[in-house]
């Protein structure tokens, strides 16, 4: 049986680690293209100046326009060539990070997240948008980032909703990896057909990936509530350190090497509802995880454990929690149809799925979530 494990070359996490950014730049050369929103640069200006002086390197600011579009990527590629940059840095949130990945095309890229809202920093994929912000396409590269550098002091200063959203994204990792283990699905089964040949075609999840996905879930249950409290107080504690690692590293390796399944496919289906657009990726994935558990007919004890965790950190447990106060049968059908399109990861579940089955699971997850939230019971 062919197996594969995908990961960044280096992952470094700790307080004030941004002060060491220059060290990693010098492993490639002296000059780095810095892709970041100006507000993020201003927020860490002292650290950037310090590390540039200490390690005798230069950051070329890109004037990033905030959108990971093909036009912006091409502009920044030309700038990197003109300035003779030795590496690319993506600093900030998801769009700056994805733009850096696209500019570098898998070569000499350093990722510096300033929030822990998703597990994307460690991955070798990115999302492209049109210049006006609409979804364009996915991009995949030959390898994961060279360095992922996490400054936990900076992440502790970010709004707490980002951290909680990251927990929602990470929550699905174990359950989706478990589904892939049961179905013997390929880890890239949820990717568009055109990019599968570039990756590990036919590869199954490793024991290592499933172990990391399991640890991710265990860490959330143990430290999630305390980590949220730490972020509210803007202090770094062991619990916050552990959850940042779970959100970014454990979840990132767990999803990319363990595979996606129902939760993320349901997320993708829900995005057709305009009301959900104001909610973060991980918030919708959390509800998608509950839908996956309903599809699997998971034991009541497991559902309660997930519901208790979600409620303890204020993650969504019903449609209303992601902005959907009412949903027509036609809308529900469209969500389900989007969820089970041929290229979706839902087909990594260890059983066939249908539109009617997805509709039923969404409705039951919504009912259970609402009842449990208000009464602490599955039924009124």
Active site residue 278: no
Q: Is the pLDDT of residue 368 over 90?
A: yes
Q: Is the pLDDT of residue 36 over 50?
A: yes
Q: What is the mean pLDDT of the chain?
A: 94
Quote the CA–CA distance of 228 and 84 in Å, as a whole number: 42
Say if strands 147-151 and 58-61 run parallel, antiparallel, or are unpaired. unpaired
Output the CA angle 76-79-85, nearest 5 degrees. 105
Q: Is the pLDDT of residue 192 over 80?
A: no
Q: Is the pLDDT of residue 261 over 50?
A: yes
Quote the CA–CA distance of 293 and 297 in Å, as a whole number: 6
- 26-64 burial, b at 16+ Cβ within 10 Å, e below that, comes to eebeebbbbbbbeebbebbeebbebbbeebebebbebeb
Q: What is the pTM of this model?
A: 0.94
Yes or no: say if 69 and 136 are a contact pair by the CB < 8 Å rule: yes
Alpha-carbon distances of 231 from 59, 123, 286, rounded to whole Å: 29, 25, 20
Do domains 10-156 and 161-375 share one topology? The answer is no
Report pLDDT for 195.
47
Report pLDDT for 343.
86
Annotated catalytic residue: which of 267, 268, 321, 366?
267
The answer to the question of whether 49 is labelled as a binding residue is no
Q: Determine which helix (DSSP H) or strand (DSSP E) holds 178, and give its type and residue range.
A: helix 160-183
* Tokens matching residue 35: 């892709």
Residue with tokens 């300035």: 83
Of residues 194 and 30, more confidence is placed in 30
204 DSSP 8-state letter: B
Quote the CA–CA distance of 21 and 45 in Å, as a whole number: 13
In the predicted model, what is the mean pLDDT of residues 297-322?
A: 98
Q: Give the SS3 label for residue 86.
A: coil
Q: Is the pLDDT of residue 103 over 80?
A: yes
Compute how many other C-beta atoms are within 10 angstroms of the C-beta atom of residue 343.
Answer: 14
The answer to the question of whether 123 is labelled as a binding residue is yes
16 DSSP 8-state letter: T
Each residue's pLDDT tens digit, 279-303: 999 999 999 999 999 999 999 999 9
CATH number for 161-375: choose from 1.10.10.60, 3.30.360.10, 1.20.1090.10, 3.30.56.10.
Answer: 1.20.1090.10
Say if strands 125-129 and 135-140 run parallel, antiparallel, or are unpaired. antiparallel
The answer to the question of whether 94 is labelled as a binding residue is yes
User: What is the maximum alpha-carbon separation in the chain?
Assistant: 66
The answer to the question of whether 347 is labelled as a binding residue is no
Of residues 200 and 52, more confidence is placed in 52
The answer to the question of whether 154 is labelled as a binding residue is no
Q: Is the pLDDT of residue 191 over 60?
A: no
In the predicted model, what is the mean pLDDT of residues 149-155?
A: 98
Annotated catalytic residue: which of 40, 151, 169, 321?
169
3-state DSSP helix/strand/coil percent for the chain, to nearest 5?
55, 10, 30
Q: Is the pLDDT of residue 194 over 70?
A: no
Q: Give the SS3 label for residue 61.
A: strand
**C-alpha dihedral over 293, 297, 299, 302, to 10 degrees?**
0
Alpha-carbon distances of 48 from 23, 24, 128, 152, 163, rounded to whole Å: 12, 13, 27, 16, 24
The answer to the question of whether 27 is labelled as a binding residue is no
Report pLDDT for 253.
95
Annotated catalytic residue: which of 264, 268, 347, 366?
264
The answer to the question of whether 288 is labelled as a binding residue is no
Yes or no: say if 81 and 25 are a contact pair by the CB < 8 Å rule: no
Percent over 90 (pLDDT), the chain: 84
Domain 10-156 grouped into CATH 3.40.50.1970: yes
Annotated catalytic residue: which of 223, 268, 281, 366?
281
Quote the CA–CA distance of 83 and 68 in Å, as a whole number: 21
Domain boundaries, the chain: 10-156, 161-375
pLDDT range class, residue 199, cuts 50, 70, 90: low
Beta-ladder partners of 135:
129
In the predicted model, what is the mean pLDDT of residues 318-346?
A: 96
Instruction: Please state which of the ranges 175-189, 237-251, 311-325 shows the lowest mean pLDDT.
Output: 175-189
């Amino acid at each position: 049986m062919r197996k594969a494990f995908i990961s960044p070359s280096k992952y470094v996490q700790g307080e004030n680690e941004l002060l060491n950014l220059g060290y990693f730049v010098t492993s490639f050369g002296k000059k780095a293209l810095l892709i970041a929103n100006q507000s993020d640069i201003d927020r860490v200006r002292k650290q950037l100046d310090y590390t540039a002086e200490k390690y005798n390197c230069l950051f070329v600011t890109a004037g990033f326009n905030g959108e990971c579009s093909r036009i912006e990527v091409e502009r920044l590629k030309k700038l990197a060539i003109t300035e003779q940059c030795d590496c690319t840095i993506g600093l900030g949130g998801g769009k700056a990070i994805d733009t850096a990945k696209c500019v570098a095309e898998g070569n000499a890229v350093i990722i510096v997240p300033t929030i822990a809202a998703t597990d994307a920093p460690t991955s070798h994929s990115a999302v492209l948008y049109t210049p006006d912000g609409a979804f364009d396409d996915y991009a995949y590269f030959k390898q994961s980032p060279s360095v992922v550098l996490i400054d936990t002091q900076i992440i502790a200063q970010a709004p707490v909703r980002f951290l909680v959203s990251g927990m929602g994204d990470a929550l699905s990792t174990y359950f989706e990896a478990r589904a892939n283990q049961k179905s013997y699905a390929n880890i890239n089964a949820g990717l568009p057909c055109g990019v599968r040949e570039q990756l590990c075609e036919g590869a199954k999840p490793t024991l290592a990936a499933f172990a990391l996905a399991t640890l991710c879930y265990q860490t959330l249950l143990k430290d999630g509530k305390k980590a949220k409290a730490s972020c509210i107080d803007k202090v770094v504690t062991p619990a916050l350190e552990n959850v940042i690692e779970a959100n970014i590293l454990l979840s990132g390796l767990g999803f990319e090497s363990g595979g996606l399944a129902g939760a993320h496919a349901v997320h993708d289906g829900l995005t057709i509802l305009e009301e959900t657009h104001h909610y973060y990726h991980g918030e919708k994935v959390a509800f998608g995880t509950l839908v996956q558990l309903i599809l699997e007919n998971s034991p009541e004890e497991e559902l309660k454990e997930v519901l208790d965790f979600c409620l303890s950190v204020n993650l969504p447990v019903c449609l209303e929690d992601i902005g959907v106060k009412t949903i027509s049968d036609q809308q529900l059908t469209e969500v389900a149809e989007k969820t089970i399109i041929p290229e979706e990861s839902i087909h990594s579940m260890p059983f066939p799925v249908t539109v009617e089955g997805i509709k039923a699971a969404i409705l039951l997850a919504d009912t259970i979530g609402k009842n449990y939230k208000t009464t602490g019971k599955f039924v009124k």
